[in-house]
Structure 1
């Protein structure tokens, strides 16, 4: 996934109210408020003074024309925009980055299913039949090389796990794919100290037959691209 236009650099002043971030731009020293498309806590990724990258929209209907895209943390560039993982996982599946999810005939996004939900990716046809794929963004790292999910309590995430289990019970395949938007992690674990209920729901889903995969990304100011498998230590 390439950014359509060059990103602007700056320094983070603060991230607040979940979806807002004040940033001082390097180009002219002006302070702007950017949209922060990330509902999580962004634990470890909101240190004031951190180097950041923002995109600029030319849509006149947008209240905030800047979007917070990347932050430098622990010596690495980390993607924080949670609007991208579905697209990135789609690109990864089409490129064969998850061999277990290959062999389908059609791929659709945001298809209604379950209890008033939409599945992130639906794979149909081919040798595996119908496969329901839920995508989760990951960017928490508290130990070098180890990505963790979630970074805050996610009742919605537990609900999705239960719905994937229901699809398996109906005779379909279901898979959880964790998309690690940082280049410095090669393993994934659950942050069960942050959300023990999610960890419990995850264990139940695995027992029910839900498959689990994780893939990592390279992150640059030019593009975010799936480039490797990440081992799941759960």
Structure 2
């Protein structure tokens, strides 16, 4: 598997006590209890659960109310990354290393570029034909029977991004959405219709109308993140 990123910070393993809110998890490190920042505000059912082992990194910042960041949680033997914003870094590393087959020959032009109309997206790429492509990246950690599913909460923001990608395509730009599955125990991807049927319908619609939909799979083997599957099978139901 291609190595994408490496965590340079110190890593500590603790045990989850509970999750008092979307952005904080309380963790036991030996005899001490600490509040840990959780960068993934998703439901994380079956992942952030009391008693599960969690990997954290200490942070020295007097302006913060928490002294640790949550990095990953062990669900059985599977290490699940819980850093939503890391999906963009993983994708960028894959692009720079020519590791994602569907983007072979593409080059990174700008991260978080302004769109021609308004707003921003995650990446602007230069295609092998020297044209412009826009990419929106989504982090995915929810699975059901080895099927990766997104989203695990209702996402108006995600729907808005799909509409933006459709407008870009209609205006003549190549546009893509990439789901970065941050756990290795998956065989295919589906939108989570039971959670957000409107997102599922919209994803199928934009694909039918020219927006390209992809999914890749990454694995965290502390301290390294690796690309396990650069073209995961997708089912849009």
TM-score higher than 0.5? yes
Q: In 1, Cα distance between the equivalents of 2:70 and 2:171?
A: 40
Q: In 1, Cα distance between the equivalents of 2:43 and 2:118?
A: 25
**What is the TM-score of this pair, normalised by structure 2?**
0.92
Helix, strand or coil for the counterpart of 2:8?
Answer: coil
Between 1:29-38 and 1:220-229, the stretch displaced more is 220-229
1:83 paired residue among 76, 85, 92: 85
Question: Deviating runs (4+, > 3 A) in structure 1?
Answer: none
Structure 2: unaligned runs, 5 residues or longer: none
Is the contact between residue 96 and residue 107 of structure 2 (CA under 8 Å) also seen in structure 1? no
Helix, strand or coil for the counterpart of 1:141?
Answer: strand
CA drift at 1:172: 0.8
- What does residue 152 of structure 2 align with? 151
Matched, 1:48 2:50: yes
Write out per-residue CA displacement over residues 29-63 of structure 1, whole angstroms, 9 at most, x where no aligned residue: 21000110012111211210001000112233333
Between 1:96-105 and 1:131-140, the stretch displaced more is 96-105
The alpha-carbon distance between structure 1 residues 30 and 114, as it changes in their structure 2 partners (threshold 3 A), is farther
The alignment covers a number of residue pairs equal to 231
Is the contact between residue 7 and residue 56 of structure 1 (CA under 8 Å) also seen in structure 2? yes
CA drift at 1:89: 0.6
Helix, strand or coil for the counterpart of 2:120?
Answer: strand
**What is the TM-score of this pair, normalised by structure 1?**
0.93
- What does residue 111 of structure 2 align with? 109
- What does residue 121 of structure 1 align with? 123
1:1-234 to structure 2, matched below 5 A, reads 1-26=5-30, 29-113=31-115, 116-124=118-126, 126-127=128-129, 129-143=131-145, 145-229=146-230, 230-234=232-236
CA drift at 1:96: 2.3
The CA RMSD measured in Å over matched residues stands at 1.6
The alpha-carbon distance between structure 1 residues 128 and 165, as it changes in their structure 2 partners (threshold 3 A), is farther
Is the contact between residue 21 and residue 33 of structure 1 (CA under 8 Å) also seen in structure 2? yes
CA drift at 1:92: 1.3
Helix, strand or coil for the counterpart of 1:52?
Answer: strand
Is the contact between residue 88 and residue 137 of structure 2 (CA under 8 Å) also seen in structure 1? yes
Is the contact between residue 37 and residue 81 of structure 1 (CA under 8 Å) also seen in structure 2? yes
Structure 1: unaligned runs, 5 residues or longer: none
